[in-house]
Amino acid sequence: MYTIDEIKELITALDKSTLTDLEIVSKTGEKMVLKKRTAKYITTETTEATPVIPAPSTAGAGNSAMENTDTAKNVRTINCPMVGVFYTASAPDAEPYVTVGAKVKKGDVVCIIEAMKLMNEVVATESGTITEILAENGDLVEYGQPLFVVE
C-alpha cells in the first residue's frame, strides 16, 4: 500500500495541519487511519467588570452598600480549535449539545466542528454555565474564534 517513507510524510503532514484524524482508503480497499493526539479545545479566561448602577435613592428606604455594588464575574470562553463549520448537534434532527443556561462539566461535548468532512467534538474545559452561544448552527468559524461564554 504505502512505503514507510510515504507513511512518515503523511504523519508529518497530519502533525502540521489542524486535522485530528486522517483516513485513507486505497484503490484495492486497504484502509489506513491516522489520529493525532491533541487537545480538542482551547479556552481563554477573561475577567469582565459589570457596571454598577446605583439604585434610586428614596429617603428612609434603608439603602445599604450591598444594594449598590456588584462583583466582577468570572467569564471564560470556549474557542474554536480549528477552521470549519459549527454544529450545535450531532444531526440536523437531534437536540443541541448545550443551550444557554445549560450547566456543563469538564469534558462534556458542547458542539461539533466539521473540517474536511471530519466531525471534531469540542468539549468544555471546566464546569460552569453556558451564558451565551456566539455562533449560529452552520456558521463557518475560524481558529481561536470564541464559540461559548461560560461562567
pLDDT in tens, 4-62: 777 778 777 877 777 777 778 877 777 777 777 644 444 444 444 445 455 554 444 44
- Total count of domains within the chain: 2
Domain of residue 138: give its range.
42-51+68-150
Tell me, yes or no, whether 146 and 84 share the same domain. yes
Tell me, yes or no, whether 47 and 31 share the same domain. no
Has residue 73 got a pLDDT over 80?
no
- What percent of the residues of the chain are helix, what percent strand, and what percent coil, each to the nearest 5? 10, 35, 50
Contact criterion met (CB below 8 Å) for 97 and 78: no
pLDDT in tens, 50-68: 454 555 544 444 433 333 3
Rounded Cα gap, residues 76 and 45, in angstroms: 5
Tell me, yes or no, whether 22 and 74 share the same domain. no
Picking from 30-39, 40-49, 72-81, 113-122, which range would have the lowest pLDDT averaged per residue?
Answer: 40-49
pTM comes to 0.52
And the C-alpha cell for 118? 471530519
Tell me, yes or no, whether 117 and 78 share the same domain. yes
- Higher pLDDT, residue 113 or 64: 113
Inside any domain, residue 117: yes
Contacts of 69 (CB under 8 A, 6+ apart): 52
Inside any domain, residue 134: yes
Contact criterion met (CB below 8 Å) for 114 and 80: no
Q: In the prediction, which pLDDT does 99 show?
A: 94
Q: Scanning the structure block, which residue is given the C-alpha cell 489520529?
A: 35
